[in-house]
Structure formats: C-alpha cells, structure tokens
Structure 1
Amino acid sequence: MRSSLRFKVALLFSVLTIALLLAQALGVRTLAEAQEERLITALIRDDMASVLRSYRANPSLLPPFDLRMNGYVSGADHQAIALPAMVRNLPAGAHEIIIDGREIHVAIAPLDTARLYRVYNFNIYEKHFKEVVNALMAGTGVFALLTIWLSFGLSGLLVRQVAGLARQVKELRLGGTAPIHPGKYDETELVVLVEAFNDYHRRMAEMIAREKEFTGNVSHELRTPLTTIKTSCELLEQDAAISGKSRARLHQIERAADNMGELANALLTLAREDSARDAEPVALANMIETSLMPFADRLAQKGLDTVIDVDRELRVVANRPALAIVLSNLIDNAVQHTGHGCLQFRYASGWLYIEDTGPGIPAHALPYVFDRFYQGGSPRTPTPGVGIGLSIVKKLCDRYGWAIEIGSEPGKGTCVSLRLPATNRA
C-alpha cells in the first residue's frame, strides 16, 4: 500500500525526533546514575575519614564492640541496623548490600586490631532521585506525543503546495486545458516540475489533436474507397457474364474489402477513448451467427461445420461493435488454421468458449499469440495476414474488461475462452 508524502514526512520527523529524545533521556539518566554513585562514594569516603580521625583522637567515642562482627558497628543516621554475618568476610572498602529489601551501603575500614563497620542508608535520597528520573522519562513521552502532533502539522505545511499541484493536475486530467501557473509556487523544485509538466501537457494535447485529425481522415478517406469497392462488387455480381474464376476473384475482393472495413473499425474503436462506456445488452447467439455470415463461403469450401451451443435468450452487456470485431477476428483466425472438422461455440459459467479442430498452437508460441505482428506459422506453411488480428482482440478485451485466454495442444485444436458475464435473460 502506498502512503502519502505528508505521512512519510511526518513519520520521518517523528521517528528522528523521538529517537533523539529517547537518546537524550537515556543519556541523562545514565549520567545522573553515574553522578549519584560518585557522590555517594565521595560522601562515604569523607565521612569515614572524619569518623576515623575522631575515633582515634578520642577512643571514648567508639561505638559498642560487636563480637559477632569482630569490630565496631555504627550507623551514619543513628539507626541500629543488624548486619548479616556475611559482611564480616567482606574486604575493606565501600559495599552495597540488601537488607530487608533495602539497599544499604556499608563502609569497612581497619581500626587498630579490629575493624570499623559504618552503615549508610541513602534510601530516601535514592527514592527522590528515581522520582526525578521517572518524571524525566514521562516528560520525554509527553514530548514524543507532542512531536508526533507537530510533525503532522508541519508536514502539512511542507507538502501543501505538492498537494495543490496534484489537484491541478487532476483537474487537467478531467478536461481542463489551461496550463498550471508556476507563480503560485514558492519552492524552486516545484516551479521546475510545473514548467516540465506544462511542456509535457502541451505536447500531449498536440499529439491528441493530431491523432483525432488522423482518425477523422482515416474514417473518411478509407471508408469512401471501401464503400466504392463494395458497391462495385455488388453491381458486378449481378452481371451474368462473370462466372468461374472471375466470380471467385470478385468474392475475394469483396471479402478483402470487408476485412479492411472491420480492421478500420477496430482501429477507430481503439482510438476513441470514450467508446468503453457504450455498452448494451447483446443477444450472444445472434451476434455469433452474424459474425459467421461473412465466413460462410470459406466454411463451405473447407467443409467445416459450426455448432452454436449458446442459449438464444442469453444476453451479455457489451459494446456491440467491439464484440463484433473480437468475434470476427477470432472466427477468422480459427477458419484460417482449421482444415477439417468443426468450429464450436459454447457458453458456460460466464465464459464463451470458441473451439476448433485445427492443428493447434505449439507450446513455445502460446505466450506470444497476442503480440503485435507475431505469426505462429512455419516458413513452409505461412500464415495469411500481418499478425495484428489477435493483438487488436487483446487490446479491445483490455479496453472493455473482458478476460481472454487461449489453450491449445498440437494436434488437438485450440480453445479461446472469452469472459462475458451474462445479464438478465430476455
């Protein structure tokens, strides 16, 4: 799934800022804990030095001797604390021990032939320190939430002009013709982008105008001679003097004119962008029969039978001219490659199947049958045509959303599957 530019900018700002805030909070916490330890160590060191001096100067100030500890035990806060026996085995210096769930510091120093144990309880100080650290971390969380909110607000300001450009581009796509005015944008990069897009839009408009003019010329200049050819063929067919090979040639000319007319219709249909919206209920069986009519002579010459296993009441919603072109090309392709047998049309589960009993298509050629100008015939058996029939069929199917598949096996014929969902039956 694609994310918006605003979301990406806000996410980047948020992640970077939150990472910096967390790094700062953790750094402050680590530094504060290290400073706390150094402060406690300094306090214990100074206090022990002072106490030892006073005890040595005035032995009467010594606390009671503890036989169990083999030393003198005193408390810095004047609270009696029973030390565990394991403390007796600790070396001289400052130590941290846990007594009744409390963290206690014990300083041990030699005093004449005995030892001095001095107990320090910094629980209250450490409790306040932890409260300050927790407040710092909570403040970091609040700042992180504030950062997310500010990031989305600031990212909206940063991408505002990009969003405006996107709206203007969309308006152009929906039919606007005026170019985008670059003076509305402040950023240099956007101004360059607007100018490049305006140039591209201008060239696209000129190209579309040329294509429309070209298709208009084709529609007029190509249809006119084709109509003349068709009319002449119809008049010549009424001449009883024409017979045999001449009449066969005349039929070939008429079929070629029909094929050229269908090809021109297909190309013009593909060139019209709005043609995809022209859909209506179509009687599929009648459409197949109509598409077969131009091939009646060729089917008779080859002795090919046609089987239409389609309900005559079946209706499909489709663009009638486009469907006629697709069926005509598929039938023409099947007739060209089928020397004997039959052509079968059947409809099932929303699919129209067109099957022939031809030689089939080699497996290596199947992926390329819809490619423009591709012909699967061998050099010894060249395929008639120029190889654009199936290409036109595929483009029309893509235009109207009709799935098309070709299955074939050499020696067993070919089956073309065309997805045409049925509508209500008449």
Structure 2
Amino acid sequence: MRNSLRFKVALFFSVLTIALLLAQALGVRALAEAQEERLIAALIRDDMTNVLKGYQANPALLPPFDVRMNGYVSGADRESVALPATVRNLPFGTHEIIIDEREIHVAIAPMGTAGTARLYRVYDFNIYEKHFKEVINALMGGTGIFALLTIWLSFGLSGLLVRQVAGLARQVKTLRLGESAPIQPGKYDETELAGLVEAFNDYHQRMAGMIAREKAFTGNVSHELRTPLTTIKTSCELLEQDAAIRGKSRARLQQIERAADNMRELANALLMLAREDSACEVEPVAMAKMIETALTPFADRLAQKGLQTTIDIDGDLHVMANRPALAIVLSNLVDNAVRHTDRGGLHFRYAEGWLSIEDTGPGIPAHAIPHVFDRFYQAGSPDASPAGVGIGLSIVRKLCERYGWPIEIGSEPGQGTRVSLRLPAASRT
C-alpha cells in the first residue's frame, strides 16, 4: 500500500515535533530534579551550620542523648521520626533513607570536643517533593496534550502544503489527449510545481504527437495492407474455379490463400493491440459457435491430416469477451495445434471458467514451455523447416494481458499439449 504525500509530510512533522517535545520535557525534568537535589543539599548544609553553632553556643538546647544511636537525634520538623539502628553505622554527611515508604534525609555530624558523640538531624521533604512531582506530572501531561495538538496541526498544515500537488494530480487524471488544453503553470505558486507542470505539458505534447503519428500509421497500414490482401484473396477464389489448375499448382494456390488469410489475421491482431480503447468493448459471446468459426479456415488441413475435433461445450454457454480479440486468440491457438498435430485430434472443453484446448501432438519439451510465448521463439527441431515466424503465441499472450484472460500451457513430450484460457461466463438472465 502506498501512503499519500500529505500523510508522509504530516507524519514527518508529527514525529519530529513530538520527539523535540519529549526531549524538552525530559530535559526539563532532569534539570528540575538536579536543581531540587542541589536546593535540598543547600538547605541542609545551611541548617546544619546554624544548628551546630546554636548547640555549641548553648549546650542546653541539645536534645536528649539517645544511647541506641550513640548521639543526639534532632528533627527539623515538629513530627519526630524514629531512626533505625542501622543509621548509627553511616558515616558523617547527608544520607537518604526510606522510613515508612517515605524518603527521609539524615545529616550526621560529630558533636563534642572529642567528637565521640554524633548529631543526627532528620529532614522530611515529602510534602515539597510531592508538590514537585505534581508539577513534573503536569509538565509531562501538557507535553502529551501538545503532542496531540501537533498531530492535528501537522495534518492541517500538510494539507495546505500538498493541496496544489493534489490539484495537479486531479487535473492530470482528467486530462485526455486531444480533449483539453494543457495545464496552466500560472495556477501554481510553488516554483517546483510550476516546473513540474511545464515538464508534464511538454511530455503531454510529445505523447499527443506520437499517438497522432501512430494513429495515422495504423490507419495507413489498415488500408494499404488490407487492400492487396483482399485482392490476393479474391484472385485465389477466382483461380480456384478454373478447372485447368490442378495438382501442385492448385496446392500452391491454396498455400497462397492460407498465407493471405494469415496475413489478414496478423494485421487485425496488430491493429487491435494498437487500439487503446478496445479493452472496454466486451459482450456475451457464444463459446461453441466461436470455436466452430475458428475451425472453419482449417477444415482442409484437418481433413488432410485426418484429425478429429471434439467440442465438449454447451451450445448455450456465453462468455464475456471482446469478440474480435477472442477470434484472433482462438485462431492462433487452433493454428498452432493443427500445425504440430499429425494424428488424433483436438478437444475443446469448458469447465469452472476455463476453456481448454487439447491436442494429441508430440508435446513441448519442459525447457521450452517458459519460452513459448516469447516473440520469434519456436520450440521445433532445429533441422525442421519453420512453419511460421513465431509471433502467433506472442500476440495471443499480449491480447490475453490486454483483456485480463489468464492463460496456461501444460505439456509433456509424446502426450500432447493443453492450453487453458480463463474466460468468465456471462450471467444468465
């Protein structure tokens, strides 16, 4: 799946902005926490200095001596905190301990002239830290809200940024060769889009000229090629009525007539492939009748080889197809089967949406099956004279691709070949 340009622009701006917001929020949080620790350390340091000076100036202010702690325990707050016995083993300085799931700061300093006693000063900053955490949480919550707002704004701004690209895409979709004027670059503000419009207009003009030349060429080919072929066909039909032409001369006359028919079918196929709108021309086609019509030009060759044809298809079956294209495909497939089959016959059947054409020929080697649809490829023996130019199956594949007809070939040497063509059946009313 492809994402739109607007989505990509919005996603880029959203991710970039959210990343910057998160980095800023985390940086502010880390800085605030570091400043908090420095502030607490400064408060404790100043308070301890004042307390020690006060106790030294007036020892009567000292709290009662705690034998368990081997020192004096003083609280900076009115609420007294019972220190665990393990605190007496801590060195002098400020420490953080957890008491009743609260973070307590304890400052330890020597007392007395000999320094044998210790002073424990207890500080409880839980209320302050609680307010601090609330501020931090509010900051992170605000960052989340700004992130959502950023996503909304990114999609809005991206729509403004790509609106002209979307407009150009709509104009290109509706633009048909020869049916509308070129796109005006003056409608676009961005320099890059104006350059793109000019490049597209140039490409559009060159394509229009090429298609015009191609139409003229195909029209000339259609007239200049069909006219002599019709003349050859008519002359052959007149000469066949001459009883004086016998033997090899009549056989060669029939060869000329078949070659003219093949040339006419080839010209029709190439002209159909050159038509852009032919893929839309589909109609219900009687499958059995189409096969009978495709077999008619090969009646003499089938009789000469003694080949039997079996059409195992319901006469009421209709498929949705382009009639001329299907006729060309069937003609080429039948011609290929008749050419390579010397005994047995051809079997046509339709089942589960697939038309199968089976012959009893020598089959196709496994290494040649992937290449049978290649242009000018012939799978016959190199010593044998080629019966065609090797573009029949190539045209078949191109027509099948044009009309969406999957085609498959299955073959084994000595057991014949089966060509399967998927044709959707027409719904019955």
Instruction: State TM-score, norm by structure 2.
Output: 0.96
Q: SS at 1:373's partner residue?
A: coil
Contact preservation (8 Å) 1:95, 1:106? yes
- Alignment of 1:194 with 2:197, yes or no, is yes
Equivalent in the alignment of 2:419 = 416
Alpha-carbon distance, 1:181 to partner: 1.1
> Could you list the per-position Cα deviations for residues 238-277 of structure 1 after superposition, in whole angstroms to 9, with x for gaps in the alignment?
1111111111111111111111111111111111122222
Equivalent in the alignment of 1:21 = 21
Aligned counterparts of 1:33 and 1:317: Cα–Cα separation in 2? 76
Contact preservation (8 Å) 2:177, 2:204? no
Q: SS at 1:159's partner residue?
A: helix
- Alignment of 1:251 with 2:254, yes or no, is yes
Aligned counterparts of 2:88 and 2:176: Cα–Cα separation in 1? 88
Equivalent in the alignment of 1:111 = 111
2:104 partner letter? I
Alpha-carbon distance, 1:175 to partner: 6.5
Alpha-carbon distance, 1:27 to partner: 0.6
Aligned counterparts of 2:227 and 2:80: Cα–Cα separation in 1? 119
Equivalent in 200, 208, 211 of residue 208 of structure 1:
211
Contact preservation (8 Å) 2:65, 2:72? yes
Aligned counterparts of 2:142 and 2:427: Cα–Cα separation in 1? 66
Contact preservation (8 Å) 1:376, 1:383? no
Equivalent in the alignment of 2:82 = 82
Contact preservation (8 Å) 1:70, 1:115? yes
Alpha-carbon distance, 1:151 to partner: 0.8
Q: CA RMSD, aligned part only? A: 1.4
Trace 1:215-254 onto structure 2 (pairs within 5 A). Answer: 215-254=218-257
Alpha-carbon distance, 1:352 to partner: 0.7
Alpha-carbon distance, 1:423 to partner: 2.2
1:111 partner letter? M
- Alignment of 1:346 with 2:349, yes or no, is yes
> Could you list the per-position Cα deviations for residues 331-374 of structure 1 after superposition, in whole angstroms to 9, with x for gaps in the alignment?
01111111222111111111111011112112222111112222
> Could you list the per-position Cα deviations for residues 158-210 of structure 1 after superposition, in whole angstroms to 9, with x for gaps in the alignment?
11111111111111148643111111222222122111111111011011111
Equivalent in the alignment of 1:264 = 267
Equivalent in 333, 337, 340 of residue 340 of structure 2:
337
Equivalent in the alignment of 1:36 = 36
Equivalent in the alignment of 1:315 = 318
Unaligned 5+ segments in structure 1 are none
> Could you list the per-position Cα deviations for residues 28-83 of structure 1 after superposition, in whole angstroms to 9, with x for gaps in the alignment?
10111011011111111111111111111111110111111111011111322111
Equivalent in the alignment of 1:140 = 143
Trace 1:147-162 onto structure 2 (pairs within 5 A). Answer: 147-162=150-165
Aligned counterparts of 1:89 and 1:175: Cα–Cα separation in 2? 96
Instruction: State TM-score, norm by structure 1.
Output: 0.97
Alpha-carbon distance, 1:425 to partner: 5.8
Contact preservation (8 Å) 1:284, 1:314? yes
Alignment coverage as a number of residue pairs: 426
Aligned counterparts of 1:255 and 1:222: Cα–Cα separation in 2? 16
1:401 partner letter? G
> Could you list the per-position Cα deviations for residues 201-254 of structure 1 after superposition, in whole angstroms to 9, with x for gaps in the alignment?
101101111111111111111111111111111111111111111111111111
